[in-house]
């Protein structure tokens, strides 16, 4: 696997290195030893799978607060998405900054998202499916979110946003976390 750092010290793009032959390919998508060698989490307690049915749909920006913050490993299994992270650690020098990475079934990339980062994505095709590994169990009382169209963050979504859930549309702005 290839581990590529992003502008955020703890956020990584992880790409498998497929071995191909006439039957197709084989690719390792996770290895505890390689993750540990990069100082990354190796304990996953929950898996999630999402289907998003329309081009332009946005899910996010979500995270889970202390004392049970989540680390996520996200991969696109079908279609493609613009996957976005926002630093929501109020004591961080990069608080409020964002970065976007395209994840697709074709490029096979995964995104490693540490605790303290909001996560969301926009579906770039007719539909998309994402698979998540989670480091902690979901706790509804610790679920947090940031409005995906917060002007102070300024995420550049490539498509007009559609199908935003009522929950996501009502999420607070970043300034409410300072």
Domains of the chain: 2-31+42-177 (2.60.120.10)
Taken in order 104, 70, 100, 166, is the CA torsion positive or negative?
A: positive
Q: Angle CA(125)–CA(130)–CA(136) in degrees, nearest 5?
A: 155
Per-residue pLDDT of the chain in tens (178 residues, 90 and over written 9): 999 999 999 999 999 999 999 999 999 999 999 999 999 999 999 999 999 999 999 999 999 999 999 999 999 999 999 999 999 999 999 999 999 999 999 999 999 999 999 999 999 999 999 999 999 999 999 999 999 999 999 999 999 999 999 999 999 999 987 6
The whole-model pTM stands at 0.95
Phi and psi angles of residue 32, each rounded to the nearest 5 degrees, phi first: -55, -40
Nearest to 16 by CA among 110, 91, 143, 105: 110
Q: Which residues are catalytic?
A: 62, 132
């Amino acid at each position: 696997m290839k581990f590529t750092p992003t502008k955020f010290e703890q956020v990584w793009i992880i790409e498998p290195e497929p071995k191909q032959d006439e039957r197709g390919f084989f690719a390792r998508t996770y290895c505890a030893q390689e993750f540990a060698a990069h100082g990354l989490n190796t304990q996953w307690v929950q898996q999630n799978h999402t289907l998003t049915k329309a081009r332009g749909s946005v899910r996010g920006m979500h995270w889970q607060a202390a004392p049970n913050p989540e680390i996520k490993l996200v991969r696109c299994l079908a279609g493609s998405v613009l996957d976005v992270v926002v630093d929501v650690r109020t004591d961080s020098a990069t608080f409020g900054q964002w970065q976007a990475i395209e994840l697709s079934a074709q490029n096979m990339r995964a995104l490693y998202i540490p605790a303290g980062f909001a996560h969301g994505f926009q579906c770039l095709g007719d539909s998309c499916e994402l698979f998540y590994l989670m480091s902690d169990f979901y706790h509804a009382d610790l679920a947090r979110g940031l409005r995906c169209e917060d002007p102070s963050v300024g995420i550049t979504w490539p498509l007009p946003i559609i199908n935003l859930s009522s929950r996501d549309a009502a999420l607070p702005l970043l300034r409410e976390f300072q």
